[in-house]
C-alpha cells in the first residue's frame, strides 16, 4: 500500500491510495493496466488506483487459494475465530478512517458509512457465535455426519455495500475452513482494500483470502466468471443485479454448484387507513432516498389504501420538498448524496424516461441538481458529481414497467388500492416483493398480511429493509442470513464405522505477527 498526493482541487479530501491485488499473502500488480477509483462526491478526487486484472491473475489467485486450503481447513476453529476477532478490533479501531473512505468513494453520508462499518463488525460477531451450530450429527451409533469445507470459494459483491456485503460472504467461508478468491467491485476497490488490510494485519495466513481487482463484465469480471466453468471454484457467492445473477446461476448450475446469491431488489410498503401515517412517511423517506436510493434493498413501491392515500401524499410530498441533498463530505447532515458514478446516473435518467412512457404522473423530481436549478435545500459543491432530485411518481399501476423495474436511484412510486388482498397480490409477482412492510394496527389485517405475504422480509409498522445478519433474508440458492449462510460453504460427509469419533486432530496454529502495517493516520 502506498499513498500519493491528490489532485490540487481535492487536497482537502485526503491522499490517494495506491493498492494491489493480494495473492498468497503478497501485494502484487495485475497483468493489465490500472483502474482509477474516483470519488462519487467529486470526480476530481482520486480515491485509489488498483490493478486491472486479467485471466492469468484470476488463475494465480485461485491456485494460491487451492494451495492454502489443506493447511487452513486443518486449523482449529479457535484459530479461525481468533483471527476474525483480531481483524474486527483493527477495523473498529480505524472505523472513522474507513467510513470516510466509503463516503469519498461511493457517496454515502457519514452516518450511512459508519453504519456500513458497524454492520461489518456485527457480522463478525454473529458468524462467530453461529459456529456452534456447525457441529456433527449422530443419527445412530456408528453413523456420524460432519460438515466439511468445500474448497476454494469465489466471491463477487456489489459496490453499493462495499464492506458488509462481501464480509457476509467471506466470513462464513473462511470460518468454515474454506479459502477465498474475491473480486471487489470496481466502484469501491479502496474500501474493499482497507477491509482486507485489517484481516492481513490480524495475521491472515497467505492464500486464505486472495483478491483480483479490475473492471466488471467487460474485464476481470468476465474472467472471474469463466473460472467457474474451468473448475477453479468449488463454491460461488454473488451480491448484485438480477441480470448478472441469472448468468451466475447458469454457470453454477451446469457445474452442479449451489450458489449463494443476494440479488438486488426493491421493497414495497402497504399503508392502511388506521396506520401511523407519520411513521409510514418517515420510513418511506428513509427507504426510498437513503444512499440516493442505491441500497441493495430499498423501497420503490408505496401501496396506499384509497381512504388514506390523499393524506399520505400530502405529508410525504411536504417532506420530500424539504429534503436536504448535497455534498456529504462537507455537509454530513444531508439526507443523501450523489449517485455512485456516471453509469448509474445514466440508468436513472432512463428510469425517468420509462415513467414518462408508462404515462405515470410525476409529482416531484425529474432532473439532476446543478448550479442553475439548485435551491436552498441543496448544499455544498455539487458540480463534480451526479446529484439527482428525489423523484415521486403517482398513478402507477402494477402492469407498468415503472412498477416492475429494479432501477437504483432516489425514486418511489405511489400506487392506490381498495382492498388488502389487492395489495398483497400486487407484491407477489414484482421484484419489489423481496421486502414488504405493512403499516396498520388492525389485528386481522396484520395476521392476514403476515400469513399471506410471500416476501423474504416482512415488516409490521416498520420498514422491512434491515439486512439482519442473524436471520435469513432476501436471496437465492443458500440464504445469506448467518445460520443458513454456512450451508453454501460446507458439504455433508457421512462417516460409517465403529465407535471411533471420526475426528482428525486440528492444528492449534498461533497467529503470527503480521508484516502488514497500514498507514491509517495518513488516510
pLDDT for 428-440, tens place per residue? Answer: 655 545 789 999 9
- The mean per-residue pLDDT over the stretch 210-238 comes to 94
| 475 vs 470: CA distance, rounded Å | 14
What pLDDT score was predicted for residue 335? 97
| 216 vs 505: CA distance, rounded Å | 42
Residues 53/220, Cβ–Cβ less than 8 Å? yes
Angle between helices 164-175 and 77-93 (to 10 degrees): 160
What pLDDT score was predicted for residue 516? 83
Sign, CA torsion 103/106/112/115: negative
Reading the block at residue 169, the C-alpha cell is 460472504
What pLDDT score was predicted for residue 480? 47
Structural domains of the chain, ranges and CATH numbers in brackets: 2-259+478-497 (3.40.605.10), 265-460 (3.40.309.10)
118-to-239, 297, 369 alpha-carbon distances in Å: 19, 18, 31
| Residue corresponding to grid cell 476497490 | 189
- Give the CA-trace dihedral at 86, 89, 93, 94, to 10 degrees: 60
- The mean per-residue pLDDT over the stretch 391-403 comes to 92
pLDDT for 65-112, tens place per residue? Answer: 999 999 999 999 999 999 999 999 999 999 999 999 999 999 999 999
Sign, CA torsion 238/240/241/243: negative
What pLDDT score was predicted for residue 455? 80
- Give the CA-trace dihedral at 64, 65, 70, 73, to 10 degrees: 150
What pLDDT score was predicted for residue 469? 47
- H helices, E strands: number in the chain: 15, 24
Query: pLDDT at residue 374 above 90?
Result: yes
Query: pLDDT at residue 22 above 90?
Result: yes
Query: Averaging pLDDT over each range in 135-144, 239-248, 335-344, 457-466, which range is the top one?
Result: 335-344
Residues 184/315, Cβ–Cβ less than 8 Å? no
- Pairs from 257-260 (Cβ < 8 Å, separation ≥ 24): 257/228, 257/233, 258/477, 258/478, 258/488, 259/235, 259/476, 259/477, 259/478, 259/488, 260/169, 260/235, 260/236, 260/475, 260/477, 260/478, 260/479, 260/480, 260/485, 260/488, 260/489
What pLDDT score was predicted for residue 477? 53
Other beta carbons within 10 angstroms of residue 510's beta carbon come to: 9
Percent of the chain with pLDDT over 90: 66
What pLDDT score was predicted for residue 444? 92
Query: pLDDT at residue 398 above 50?
Result: yes
Query: pLDDT at residue 48 above 50?
Result: yes
User: pLDDT confidence of 277, banded at 50, 70, 90?
Assistant: very high
What pLDDT score was predicted for residue 231? 95
What pLDDT score was predicted for residue 522? 80
When computed from its CA atoms, the radius of gyration of the chain, rounded to whole angstroms, is: 24
**Is residue 461 classed exposed, middle or buried when 0-12, 13-18 and 19+ CB atoms within 10 A define those classes?**
middle
| 424 vs 440: CA distance, rounded Å | 14
What pLDDT score was predicted for residue 412? 95
| 454 vs 289: CA distance, rounded Å | 25
- The mean per-residue pLDDT over the stretch 215-237 comes to 93
What secondary structure letter does DSSP report for 141? T
Amino acid at each position: 500500500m502506498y499513498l500519493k498526493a491528490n489532485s490540487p482541487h481535492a487536497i482537502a479530501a485526503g491522499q490517494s491510495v495506491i493498492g494491489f491485488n493480494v495473492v498468497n499473502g503478497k501485494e502484487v500488480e495485475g497483468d493489465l493496466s490500472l483502474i482509477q477509483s474516483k470519488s462519487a462526491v467529486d470526480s476530481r478526487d482520486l480515491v485509489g488506483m488498483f490493478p486491472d486484472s486479467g485471466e492469468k491473475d484470476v488463475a494465480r489467485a485461485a491456485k494460491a487459494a487451492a494451495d492454502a486450503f489443506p493447511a487452513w481447513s486443518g486449523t482449529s476453529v479457535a484459530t479461525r475465530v481468533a483471527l476474525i476477532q483480531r481483524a474486527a478490533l483493527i477495523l473498529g479501531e480505524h472505523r472513522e478512517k474507513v467510513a470516510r473512505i466509503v463516503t469519498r468513494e461511493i457517496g454515502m453520508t457519514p452516518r450511512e458509512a459508519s453504519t456500513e462499518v458497524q454492520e461489518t463488525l456485527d457480522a463478525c460477531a454473529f458468524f462467530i457465535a453461529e459456529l456452534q451450530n456447525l457441529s456433527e450429527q449422530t443419527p445412530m451409533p456408528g453413523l456420524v455426519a460432519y460438515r466439511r469445507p468445500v474448497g476454494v470459494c469465489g466471491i463477487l459483491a456489489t459496490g453499493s455495500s462495499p464492506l458488509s456485503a462481501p464480509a457476509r460472504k467471506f466470513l462464513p467461508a473462511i470460518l468454515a475452513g474454506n479459502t477465498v478468491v474475491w473480486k471487489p467491485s470496481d466502484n469501491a476497490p479502496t474500501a474493499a482494500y482497507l477491509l482486507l488490510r485489517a484481516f492481513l494485519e490480524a495475521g491472515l495466513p497467505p492464500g486464505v483470502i486472495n483478491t483480483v481487482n479490475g473492471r466488471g463484465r467487460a474485464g476481470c469480471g468476465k474472467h472471474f466468471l469463466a473460472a467457474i466453468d474451468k473448475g477453479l471454484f468449488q463454491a460461488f457467492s454473488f451480491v448484485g443485479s438480477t441480470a448478472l445473477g441469472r448468468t451466475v446461476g447458469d454457470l453454477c448450475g451446469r457445474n452442479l454448484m449451489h450458489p449463494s446469491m443476494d440479488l438486488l431488489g426493491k421493497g414495497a410498503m402497504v399503508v392502511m387507513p388506521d396506520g401511523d401515517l407519520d411513521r409510514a412517511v418517515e420510513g418511506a423517506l428513509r427507504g426510498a432516498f437513503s444512499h440516493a436510493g442505491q441500497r441493495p434493498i430499498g423501497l420503490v413501491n408505496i401501496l396506499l389504501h384509497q381512504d388514506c392515500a390523499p393524506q399520505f401524499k400530502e405529508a410525504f410530498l411536504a417532506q420530500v420538498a424539504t429534503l436536504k441533498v448535497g455534498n456529504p463530505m462537507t455537509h454530513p447532515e444531508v439526507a443523501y448524496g450523489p449517485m455512485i458514478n456516471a453509469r448509474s446516473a445514466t440508468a436513472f435518467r432512463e428510469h425517468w424516461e420509462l415513467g414518462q412512457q408508462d404515462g405515470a404522473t410525476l409529482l416531484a423530481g425529474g432532473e439532476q441538481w446543478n448550479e442553475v436549478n439548485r435551491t436552498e435545500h441543496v448544499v455544498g459543491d455539487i458540480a463534480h458529481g451526479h446529484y439527482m432530485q428525489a423523484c415521486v411518481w403517482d398513478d402507477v399501476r402494477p402492469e407498468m414497467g415503472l412498477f416492475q423495474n429494479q432501477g437504483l436511484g432516489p425514486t418511489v412510486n405511489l400506487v392506490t388500492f381498495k382492498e388488502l388482498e389487492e395489495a398483497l397480490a400486487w407484491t407477489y409477482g414484482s421484484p419489489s416483493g423481496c421486502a414488504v412492510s405493512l403499516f396498520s394496527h388492525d389485528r386481522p389485517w396484520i395476521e392476514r398480511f403476515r400469513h399471506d405475504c410471500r416476501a423474504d422480509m416482512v415488516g409490521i409498522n416498520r420498514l422491512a429493509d434491515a439486512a439482519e445478519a442473524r436471520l435469513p433474508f432476501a436471496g437465492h440458492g443458500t440464504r445469506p442470513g448467518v445460520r443458513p449462510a454456512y450451508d453454501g460453504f460446507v458439504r455433508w460427509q457421512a462417516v460409517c464405522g465403529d465407535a471411533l469419533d471420526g475426528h482428525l486432530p486440528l492444528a492449534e496454529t498461533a497467529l503470527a505477527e503480521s508484516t502488514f502495517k497500514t498507514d491509517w493516520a495518513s488516510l
